[in-house]
Structure 1
Amino acid sequence: MTYVFSVCTALAQGITGKVVDASNVPIEFVNVILLSGEDSTYIAGTVTKADGSFLFENHDATTKLVRLTSIGYVEQIKPVPPTGDLGTITMSLDNIMLGEVIVKSNRPVTAIKGNALVTSVENSVLAHAGTANDVLSQVPMVSGRDGNFEVFGKGTPLIYVNGRKILDMTELSHINSSDIKNVEVITNPGAKYDASVKSVIRIQMKRPQGDGWSGTLRSQNGFQHYFVTREQANLKYRTGGLEVFTNFGYMNGKFQNHVSNDMVTYGSRLIDQQIDSKGNMRNNEFYGKAGFSYLFNENNSIGAYYSNGFSKQTDNGGYDSEIKIDDILEDKISSTAKSKRDNYPRHYTNLYYNGLVGKLGIDLNVDFMWNKNRNNILNEEQGTTSGYTQVNSSSVNHGRMFAQKLTLSYPVWKGQLEIGEEFTSSRFKNIYNTDAELVSDAASQVEENNIAGFTQLTQRFGMVEIAAGLRYEHVNFSYIENGVTNPEQDKTYNNLFPSLSVSTMIKNVQLALSYTNKTQRPSYADLDGTVDYINRFTLEGGNPYLKPEKIHSFELMGAWRQIFAQVSFTYNKNPLLNTTVPYDESGEVKLITKDNLSGIKKLEAFIGCQFQFGFWQPKLNVGVLKQWFMIDFADGRKKLNDPIALVQWQNAIHLPLDIWMNVDVQWMSKGNEDNMAIKPTSYVNVKLYKAFFNNRFSITFEANDILNKSGRNFTFYNKDVTLFQINKADNRSFQLTFQYNFNTTRDRYRGSGAGQTEKNRF
């Protein structure tokens, strides 16, 4: 009778279990295959969740086996007990002996979770990368370094750490790679995110440990043509549920700029300006942050922090220009320019509550930001024909923002329902003064209120998970120029943005299909009607009449063993692109601005694989980006349809004495992006990393862009102006980093922030 009851229980509940490592930490994304016990025939497959659990619904336990595999762990095969509950299964690391060296780190596992591409860092070679900056530069589909990252085909992402939005990208250098659990890359974000967000990176940290003081002291010094130093200190004190933290940072450096431009202007006469500009910028920057969090229990916490920073930038440069009109030399001009920019203290605060009341999840964030900067510029020109010209200009910018976001979640049937709202109120003000004859003083102010509501329902049906979302945004936009409001420039938007994703697993292949409807609103700089003086033939300014860009995106992702692939198709309606328009009656003076051009269709494909051969762990990624786009050019139309190819070859090599060496190579082909023709670029980076005293102290040496081939050269096309630009600056950099960690713990702060896209627009 007991046996019959057990079998009935197994039939009702299915087959379950939980997978952990030797430290009893749950392992996510373990492949679990259900087999027939008689002939090992495949029946079904799944992967473990974040808590290590797995479930096969509607399968009885009679003569069944489960096979568990994960890169870096020893494969296990377990018989299913009559109850169907396999309990806790411990997987051991698959260590490799190399002479006297034992390699305990394995290559990172890349898997699909919903519509996210997830790379595990814990117990992989990436745990030795150094900081979060170093980890992200090794994550598939992500390129860049030092806080400047792009997701292939999706532009600059929003970055979250444990649900909290990163506003200052230098914060990534404060995070030790050994404290990171995994990194999720979302290339088609759903309704939970602002409608203008094209990609998201979520960094999940390992569990916190220990009380008392902990911290990181980091010093980075090197050369990128000039000497640059970055110093930082991060301190925490934890006792019971209370954690108090403070961060300090300082950066001082000089940076080179050397660009050659050939600007051809089509008007009543053909004007060719060949401009070779050189300069340097000295930057001094300070940053400070202090806050606390209190953990009432495992499911409820509150916290707040305040951050401040200021910087002073001094630019010295100039250019030599040769101007030809209808192929006849008109003038030779030598120019010098000096500017001083003061970024006054930027005040930013965040207050959050993250909790669980019964089954109801609550995530509340309140944010406030205020900033101000002043920029004074002196331009002096001496021409053989035009004589001497001096132009003084100054601008003062003020910005402030208040944002609040609330998300509620509740389990519904076989999934979860999320409902939320977000409110953002912002204001940007600019005062511009100049003595240039072509332009005049101006004062502009932009005010915007954005009220959004969103919902997302996720349900699982056997091996299929479906998530459907809907976001509503109501936006009021007001533009005031020189104290006068123009009703034609005031705008009100009411939009619905649907999203849908479906994910499943067929044998060992993970698949995810998604659709999103997005928008891209112009930044405040793009909307600013103020006109800045560049030279007597060229001005620059915003366009208050810009409309938001509409984006429809379809995406398919797949992963099999150590190979993953992604394909997406995007249609951009009214894309916001750089252009030029005549400024004076003659049409010879051109204004560089932005406008809504015709639609762009884009197809993007990306495939990656990773292997391990003893102490060598290579990764190969290949991507292609193809667009279909035409513009008005000269007296006709011009196609800009050439594809761009990307190849990344990343190598992690474990040397004797526990030294890690990374050799990374990237090559990008020529092709078209928006209304530009991009020239080929490449780089070769080498890094050596050595940790001492149980990872408390580490030394890192980096040599980036050794061949100095990463400079981005392009040709910019539009109807009236063609601009050829060559970057001649020395992009090679060499730096040495010393880092000391004591009593290392993870940040408990769980605030995710509100008004994220609005902050980026500032």
Structure 2
Amino acid sequence: ELGKWNIDFNADYLFKRSHSDQNAMNNDDATVQADSRMRSSLYAAKLVVSAPLWNGRFSFGTEETFTNRHDIFTQNGFSADADDHIKQSVYATFADYSKSIRHWKLNMGIRYEHQQTDYYEKGIRIDAQSPTYNDIIPVLAASWSHNGKSFSLSYRLRKNNPDYSLLTNSIRYRSKYEYSQGNPLLKTQKTHRFSASTSWNWLYFSAYFSRILNMYTNIIMPYKEDTHPGVLLFATQTIPTTHNYGISLNASPKLGYWEPQLNVNMAFLDMNANKIGITERRNQPRFYISLDNNFNLPKGWFFNIEGYLSTASRQGFFVTRTEGQISARLSKSFLNETLNIALTANDILHTGYYHFNLYGINAYMENRIYRDFQRFGLQVSYKFNATKSKYKGTGAGQSEKNRL
């Protein structure tokens, strides 16, 4: 801190290396063997300078990331070897201003980002897989609150790059009838999101609309029917334009010992995959209802029972079935709340099934999986005294760390 100025600088270095072998034996079929080696490094730096301005707060800064990732994949004949090397540099500058006016809070910000990617296959640079982006990313928000009532409006542009594990040419073995493939041609996904919310005491309502450009989605298709009949290939593609709508209602009153929290959500995905070869298209909303009940009982006892229900729907080329489950927990703390003992019961009615049907390119897949959530048990935890953490910085290049 220098007078009214605050200077925050973070620098990060990340190094990661992994090696995995795969051996798959399928009855009398030939054994499948594969070897994967990955090595990556990341340098990142972020500088933020802020100071008061016009009874508000103004901040500006820069962020830079430099990523180097190398994947080598070899196998014994079920697909093909791959040697993918990605170098990426990102230079960004940004500014933000926030101000409070009586019951209002206003915020506006902008970020300019230059992103350069160099993609190499077996040491040769591939121009079609080496994009350059120059993006302006804005955010605008306004909120009002007074006497337990509030209202807010916001617009935000979000930019998401695909995980590096998806930007590979390798075709990997999942099972005798399932292979998976990366896609180095994936484009950056951008989401224009408009949202509004309002609250009054313990009631909260929100709505949003998103326009998604180059949305990532998983698709299925046959894999080399002439040599591998019956094998499905799982791949990632981008859909040029998708619209996503949603509303949410939350109620959390306090009724004596009982503190319930009710959530009702509706999501509607308007997705057209014709441009990637999938003709199936159905648009139905999906509803999600949850009820979380907390009971603060006498003598320090605490009881919680919660359940959720998700309705069936058909959205784009995905089909989901009705799902739901109920769980409970009874606990009590001792020794000045340092020791906690709890009885737990998860998925009491054994209903934690996952249903997922998927239409693809000349392919269809249906899944019904039990996630093995049901548990009945005893939990004991103890909190040791710990000093407050010193400032460790907010870190730089967080989105790149997530991609790696």
Same fold (TM over 0.5): yes
8 Å contact from structure 1 (residues 532, 539) kept in 2: yes
- Deviation, 1:479, is 1.4
User: Which has the larger displacement, 475-484 or 732-741?
Assistant: 732-741
- 1:491 corresponds to which residue? 131
**Which of 205, 210, 214 is the equivalent residue of 1:565?**
205
- Deviation, 1:545, is 0.9
- Deviation, 1:744, is 4.8
- Deviation, 1:541, is 1.2
**Which of 398, 422, 435 is the equivalent residue of 2:63?**
422
How does 1:322-471 map onto structure 2 within 5 Å? 356-382=1-27, 388-436=29-77, 438-471=78-111
8 Å contact from structure 2 (residues 352, 372) kept in 1: no
- How far does the alpha carbon of each residue in 1:308-349 deviate from its partner, in whole angstroms, 9 at most, with x for none? xxxxxxxxxxxxxxxxxxxxxxxxxxxxxxxxxxxxxxxxxx
Give the aligned residue type for 1:518.
R
1:481 aligns with 2:113: no
Distance in 1 between residues matched to 2:363 and 2:386, nearest whole Å: 55
- What TM-score does the superposition give when structure 2 sets the normalisation length? 0.93
8 Å contact from structure 1 (residues 699, 736) kept in 2: yes
- 2:183 corresponds to which residue? 543
- 1:92 corresponds to which residue? none
**Which of 299, 307, 312 is the equivalent residue of 1:657?**
299
Alignment CA distance shift 1:654-1:509 (3 Å): closer
How does 1:297-308 map onto structure 2 within 5 Å? none
Distance in 1 between residues matched to 2:281 and 2:374, nearest whole Å: 35
Give the aligned residue type for 1:730.
D
8 Å contact from structure 1 (residues 527, 545) kept in 2: yes
8 Å contact from structure 2 (residues 213, 242) kept in 1: yes
User: Which has the larger displacement, 553-562 or 683-692?
Assistant: 683-692
- Deviation, 1:598, is 3.5
Give the aligned residue type for 1:486.
I
Distance in 2 between residues matched to 1:372 and 1:652, nearest whole Å: 45
- 1:643 corresponds to which residue? 285
Distance in 2 between residues matched to 1:618 and 1:728, nearest whole Å: 28
- 2:330 corresponds to which residue? 688
Distance in 1 between residues matched to 2:258 and 2:208, nearest whole Å: 32
- 1:18 corresponds to which residue? none
Number of residue pairs matched by the alignment: 402
- Deviation, 1:562, is 1.0
- How far does the alpha carbon of each residue in 1:489-523 deviate from its partner, in whole angstroms, 9 at most, with x for none? 11111100111001113664211100011222111
Distance in 2 between residues matched to 1:752 and 1:734, nearest whole Å: 39
- Deviation, 1:623, is 0.8
**Which of 156, 163, 169 is the equivalent residue of 1:523?**
163
- Deviation, 1:536, is 6.2
8 Å contact from structure 1 (residues 633, 719) kept in 2: no
1:758 aligns with 2:403: no
- 1:189 corresponds to which residue? none
Distance in 2 between residues matched to 1:369 and 1:664, nearest whole Å: 40
Distance in 1 between residues matched to 2:157 and 2:82, nearest whole Å: 37
Alignment CA distance shift 1:677-1:507 (3 Å): same
- How far does the alpha carbon of each residue in 1:726-751 deviate from its partner, in whole angstroms, 9 at most, with x for none? 11342213343322234454323342
How does 1:282-301 map onto structure 2 within 5 Å? none
8 Å contact from structure 2 (residues 271, 315) kept in 1: no
Alignment CA distance shift 1:571-1:405 (3 Å): same
Structure 1: where are the runs of 5+ without partners?
Answer: 1-355
Give the aligned residue type for 1:592.
F
Structure 2: where are the runs of 5+ without partners?
Answer: none
- Deviation, 1:485, is 1.6
8 Å contact from structure 2 (residues 273, 316) kept in 1: no
Secondary structure at the residue paired with 1:525?
helix
- Deviation, 1:590, is 4.8
Secondary structure at the residue paired with 1:426?
strand
Secondary structure at the residue paired with 1:757?
helix
Alignment CA distance shift 1:470-1:636 (3 Å): closer
Alignment CA distance shift 1:523-1:665 (3 Å): same
**Which of 653, 674, 679 is the equivalent residue of 2:321?**
679
Distance in 2 between residues matched to 1:655 and 1:681, nearest whole Å: 31
- 1:698 corresponds to which residue? 340
**Which of 612, 617, 623 is the equivalent residue of 2:259?**
617
Alignment CA distance shift 1:683-1:493 (3 Å): same
8 Å contact from structure 1 (residues 632, 718) kept in 2: no
- Deviation, 1:585, is 7.8
- Deviation, 1:580, is 3.4
CA RMSD, 1 decimal? 2.3
Distance in 2 between residues matched to 1:617 and 1:628, nearest whole Å: 36
Alignment CA distance shift 1:636-1:703 (3 Å): closer
Alignment CA distance shift 1:389-1:593 (3 Å): same
**Which of 632, 653, 671 is the equivalent residue of 2:274?**
632
Secondary structure at the residue paired with 1:730?
coil
How does 1:155-304 map onto structure 2 within 5 Å? none
Give the aligned residue type for 2:322.
P
Alignment CA distance shift 1:367-1:391 (3 Å): same
Secondary structure at the residue paired with 1:357?
coil
Distance in 2 between residues matched to 1:728 and 1:700, nearest whole Å: 26
- Deviation, 1:632, is 3.4
Distance in 1 between residues matched to 2:345 and 2:392, nearest whole Å: 35
8 Å contact from structure 2 (residues 220, 359) kept in 1: no
Secondary structure at the residue paired with 2:274?
strand
8 Å contact from structure 2 (residues 280, 317) kept in 1: no
Identity %: 26
- Deviation, 1:539, is 2.7
Distance in 2 between residues matched to 1:732 and 1:399, nearest whole Å: 39
Give the aligned residue type for 1:580.
I
- How far does the alpha carbon of each residue in 1:7-35 deviate from its partner, in whole angstroms, 9 at most, with x for none? xxxxxxxxxxxxxxxxxxxxxxxxxxxxx
8 Å contact from structure 2 (residues 272, 316) kept in 1: no
Distance in 1 between residues matched to 2:278 and 2:339, nearest whole Å: 63
Distance in 1 between residues matched to 2:250 and 2:291, nearest whole Å: 10
- Deviation, 1:756, is 0.9
1:714 aligns with 2:359: no
Distance in 2 between residues matched to 1:650 and 1:585, nearest whole Å: 49
- Deviation, 1:451, is 1.3
- What TM-score does the superposition give when structure 1 sets the normalisation length? 0.50
Give the aligned residue type for 2:104.
V
- How far does the alpha carbon of each residue in 1:339-384 deviate from its partner, in whole angstroms, 9 at most, with x for none? xxxxxxxxxxxxxxxxx321112222111111222211111223xx
Distance in 2 between residues matched to 1:413 and 1:392, nearest whole Å: 65
Secondary structure at the residue paired with 2:303?
strand
Secondary structure at the residue paired with 1:575?
strand
Larger Rg: 1
Secondary structure at the residue paired with 1:637?
coil
